[in-house]
Amino acid sequence: MLVSGKSILQHAHENGYAVGAFNVNNMEQVQAIIGAAEETQSPVIIQASQGGLKYAGVEIISAMAKTLAENTTVPVAIHLDHGTDFTQIMKCLRNGFTSVMIDASHYELDENIRRTKQIVEMAKAVGVSVEAELGKIGGVEDDIAVDEKDATYTDPDEAAKFVSETEVDYLAIAVGTAHGPYKGEPKLDFDRIKVIKERLNMPLVLHGSSGVPEESIRKAVSLGINKINIDTDIRQAFHRAVKKFVAENPDVYDPRKIVGPARDAMKEVIKTKMEMFGSTGKAWR
Ligand code: 13P
């Protein structure tokens, strides 16, 4: 069942759990996500980043995601991750995305507000939900790189001003996570999550969630995180499974045999995340 991002995240916000937002570039990933959502009866968000869209194209990603979303009973939203370009965001709206992110977090507050408002007006006119980012999340994701020294945590006062002026549906906050693999153990600023949640009382988003210890994820959810972005952990599950299969079967050249086990491995990782985020059994009809 294809639904808006807001309907999924408002439900998570009201019921105190988080929904996984998993990045996709190919068919196997979309199938792994929907399979995991069905087996755990979780609402879920399928998202495509700049790199994913460059690799597969908006039309192909949306056709795959929409086909599977419309043929399952669990609630599914299709989301643009880190949208930066007005034209691309419009293309996603035309192609049936039900949620878009405008990431203008590298601009000063007023310019971030101006750019975000412009997207909110367009998207809401066609019933599509909007995520924005305030503060700068560190790390590397496809074409977007933020050096650790340039990463800045979200300020609760700025967040309150930002949300009241832009009317975004959910907000990505910078609280110590980073995109890509971690070198050491990430330390989350839990007090900041709590304060921002109390101030805003709306769905909050955690980026860079791969490799964050389970305990920290569970605590972040209990304090009000409702959307958890995962990309790296799925890529690594894919890589491990393909490497293993090829090492054990060096002469097999059928792509289905090589990539099939990776699809199963990704599904298992996604199911574990859904349980950790508390979305298991939360699907509604
Ligand atoms: P990871 O690299 O930690 O999986 O983060 C993904 C993400 O935040 C996508 O926006």
Q: What percent of the chain has pLDDT over 90?
A: 92
Query: Residue 137 domain-assigned?
Result: yes
Q: How many domains does the chain have?
A: 1
Residue 157 phi, psi (nearest 5): -65, -45
Q: What is the mean pLDDT of the chain?
A: 96
Average confidence (pLDDT) over 273-281: 98
Q: Using one digit for the tens of pLDDT, what is the confidence trace for 201-243?
A: 999 999 999 999 999 999 999 999 999 999 999 999 999 999 9
CATH code of 142's domain: 3.20.20.70
Q: What percent of the chain has pLDDT over 70?
A: 98
pLDDT at 7 over 70: yes
Structural contact between residues 134 and 114, judged by C-beta atoms closer than 8 angstroms? no
Q: Is residue 175 one of the residues assigned to a domain?
A: yes
- As annotated, the binding site for Zn(2+) includes 82, 103, 133, 179, 207
Backbone angles phi, psi at 32, to 5 degrees: -60, -40
Binding residues for dihydroxyacetone phosphate: 180, 208-210, 229-232
Taking Cα atoms as reference points, which of 101, 78, 77 lies closest to residue 89? 101
Q: Is residue 254 part of a domain?
A: no
Name residues whose C-beta falls within 8 Å of residue 93's C-beta, 6 or more positions apart in sequence.
100, 122, 123, 126, 128
What's the pLDDT tens digit per position in 41-66?
999 999 999 999 999 999 999 999 99
pTM of the model: 0.96
Gap from CA of 230 to ligand 1 centroid (Å): 5
Is residue 260 in a domain? no
Q: Is residue 252 part of a domain?
A: no
Ligand 1 atom 5: residue of nearest CA: 208
In 3D space, the residue among 24, 3, 105, 102 whose CA is nearest the CA of residue 270 turns out to be 24
199 within a domain of the structure (yes/no): yes
- 189 an active-site residue? no
Q: Residue 243 domain-assigned?
A: no
Instruction: Please report the sign of the dihedral spanned by the C-alpha atoms of residue 112, residue 115, residue 117, residue 122.
Output: negative
Which of 231, 234, 236, 269 has the most ligand 1 atoms within 8 A of CB, as the residue to mutate? 231
Average pLDDT of the segment spanning 233-260: 98
Strand ranges across the sheet with 178-179 = 144-146, 138-141, 178-179
Residue 103 within any structural domain of the chain: yes
The two three-digit tokens of residue 188, written as one number: 């989350």
Ligand 1 atom with minimal separation from the 82 CA: 10
Residue numbers of the domain that contains 224: 5-232+270-277
The Å distance, Cα 252 to ligand 1 centre, comes to: 32
pLDDT higher than threshold 80 for residue 147: no
Ligand 1 pocket check for 81: Cβ under 6 Å: yes
